[in-house]
Chains A and B, each alone.
Chain A
Amino acid sequence: MAAIKETVNTVAEIDLDNYKYGFTTDIEVDKAPKGLNEDIVRFISAKKDEPEWMLEWRLSAFRRWKKLEEPDWSSVHYPKIDFEDLYYYAAPKKKIELDSLDDLDPDILETYKKLGIPLKEQEILAGVKGASNIAVDAVFDSVSVVTTFKAKLAESGVIFCPISEAIREHPELVKKYLASVVPVGDNFYAALNSAVFTDGSFVYIPKGVRCPMELSTYFRINEPNTGQFERTLIIAEAGSHVSYLEGCTAPMRDENQLHAAVVEIIVMDDAEVKYSTVQNWYPGNSEGVGGVYNFVTKRADCRGKNSKVSWTQVETGSAITWKYPSCILRGDGSQGEFYSIAISNGYQQIDSGTKMIHLGKNTKSRIISKGISAGHSSNCYRGIVSTQRKATNVRNFTQCDSLLIGDKCSAHTVPYIEARNSSSTFEHEATTSKINDDVMFYCRQRGLNEEEAVAVIVNGFCKEVLQNLPMEFAVEAQKLVAISLEGSVG
């Protein structure tokens, strides 16, 4: 089994340190003092120029958080996080309210340029090569530095802005919907996020409007020892439609960085939201040092009849991923979808999956999860599909496939099914395959080298999920998949 040994050795040596987005940006920052207490919560609220009700809301979340215990039921292991040893607010010092992009700190602009994210509307409108027609909200550490195409979107009534701006400008919407899907005390990290969240995106699509362009948010953690607490709220009114994408990167640092996000989506009658994630936080180096802890609560509430939510995620980064984008299928006839590719390499740990909570009649859900483990990583799918007594004629289809590369990694599948009525149908399929010596020999005998063989196999394995990404990102994601596994064989 010489080739396998070789594979494993190479994986062990693989240079995760060549993470492409690992550079840091040297800028002056405005930081809160280290640690977490009520004063810090007040500091953040004041920095954000928030109304009194928001501060009160945060403080009550903080008190709630103090009473909660860090969850330990998942398969991930990490040293206890010292929440007192973190910064909870870091913002570029330069003026945040921008009249035009020209006012943006050139270093930040350069950062996003390096990341390949288009921020210059003029360029985009002028059709500069490579710039795509996508509205972007760029979040740098704790603040949103710029949001593009706001004016154009406003023409069709779409609100797309940083959530801190929405709190000031659209308090009635924020008050009505914030924490209506993920309650403050939902879990330890959701409570922490509610107390100290700093920025994120706010999206409101009015009744009957089809959002004229893709919306996206790019999160970048730059400062060391800083937690990023992103809060995103998306509201799709009856008959509306929106496609939203988030991307994430962080510099290479030896310390672990914390990212604890909450995303809430509200979908009314006949509306549809497509939410895609390409997560490429720094995964740590080949020894397992450093990397982002990604503890995320994402949930969509299909409140309206025949509403639809589709989560698509490509997870390649983070030292630890703990994330279960979920759908509450409340409205009769509503539909939830979850398409996921989770790739772990080096010493990465992933515990991810979805929850499909069927409350309405004739609701449908579909789960396609593809886990790829290489190196010494562990990759766990954990999911629940549940139907309540009154949720009749529910249909669910679940497919969980695992692909193992080498013999030091592991894949686990933990599916829960709860059925409280007899008219519902559940289908669950699962496969585990391995890129082993025999398969490699076969491919190489046909002329493919090891990397080409892995690429062909992995792309075939991921195809069903990649197809669900918006076109512009599918190509990127495919490349990312290849990069993440680069050097994992031979």
Chain B
Amino acid sequence: MLEIKNLQASVEEKPILKGLNLTINAGEVHAIMGPNGAGKSTLANVLAGQADYEVDGGSVSFHGEDLFELEIEERAAKGLFLSFQYPLEIPGVATMTFLKESINAQRKQRGQDELSTPNFMKLVKEKAQQLNVTPEMLRRPLNVGFSGGEKKRNEILQMLLLEPSLCILDETDSGLDIDALRVVADGVNSLRSPDRAMLIITHYQRLLDYIKPDFVHILVDGKIVKSGGAELAHELERDGYKDIIASA
């Protein structure tokens, strides 16, 4: 589904990704771990198309297409979803309105009919309940005055509604208490399916106790230095990055 080859990217002329290779197949859950500044969030942003990041080399194919040929919104409509580390606030726009506009914008791009209001309401109600998102939250302007946990739950709600084929979660566990973490993880797990892939970016192994990855990759200085199964995350938690880097 996603094939990253020798990816190099920089921000403000500073190279961050220095030849990253990664292949993700449908049905797989990959976790990327690494120290601060290793390029974890850069990878997420480059894949989604954030303009501050310059792609200097390499290629990424997504569902067989050249990802960099696609506009940000086209990548979204083709199933790439990024759960933001810091979700944006949009004053004046009710969360519910934003959800409906996004779903319909994607459907429009895919040549599907817009979702009718009753069908949309039914869908939102069901998914919101699953994530403890209250109707009151849905009426409030998008993310305005939301707590850190509420913002993250709102990201996952959008993910459940948009049903992407590739879910990229950028530090979704940061700022979550243990209860919220469980709710969010349950939400993510409910999306696991043979035709959907996930890329989970995290500092800590904690989230991976709840969302069990098939593969764990260690990213250091813009390259993947070690890959393994779920056990790698535990090793990392026990030994720290230093030993891993040294042994790599």
> Which residues from chain A sit less than 8 Å from chain B, CB to CB?
1-3, 431, 433, 437-439, 441-449, 452, 456-457, 459-463
Contact = CB atoms under 8 A, between A and B. Distances in A.
Contact of B92 (A442, A452, A460): A460
Given A2-B51, A456-B97, A460-B141, A444 B91 contact: no
A310 B51 CA distance: 45
B73 A449 contact: yes
Given A452-B105, A457-B93, A441 B72 contact: yes
A444 B72 CA distance: 6
B51 A447 contact: no
B71 A444 contact: yes
Interface of B: 48-52, 71-73, 76-77, 81-82, 84, 87-88, 90-94, 97-98, 101-103, 105-106, 109, 141, 158, 162
Contact of B77 (A2, A437, A447, A463): A447
A350 B112 CA distance: 42
B110 to A, nearest CB: 9
A447 B105 CA distance: 6
Given A441-B50, A452-B101, A433 B91 contact: yes
A445 B91 contact: no
A438 B73 contact: no
26 contacts: A1-B51, A1-B52, A3-B51, A439-B88, A439-B90, A442-B84, A442-B87, A443-B90, A444-B73, A445-B49, A445-B72, A445-B82, A446-B105, A446-B162, A447-B76, A447-B102, A447-B103, A447-B105, A447-B162, A448-B102, A449-B73, A456-B93, A456-B101, A460-B90, A460-B91, A461-B92
A460 B87 CA distance: 18
Contact of B105 (A431, A433, A448, A463): A448
B185 to A, nearest CB: 22
Contacts of A441: 48-51, 72
Contacts of B102: 443, 446-448
B71 to A, nearest CB: 7
Most buried by A among B77, B93, B141: B93
A452 B97 CA distance: 12
Given A433-B91, A437-B51, A439-B88, A444 B76 contact: yes
In this complex, the member of A447, A449, A452, A459 whose beta carbon has the largest number of chain B beta carbons within 10 angstroms is A447
Contact of A447 (B73, B92, B93, B97): B73
Given A441-B51, A447-B73, A460 B94 contact: yes
Given A456-B97, A456-B101, A445 B76 contact: yes
A433 B98 CA distance: 18
A447 B106 contact: yes
Contacts of A437: 51-52
A324 B49 CA distance: 45
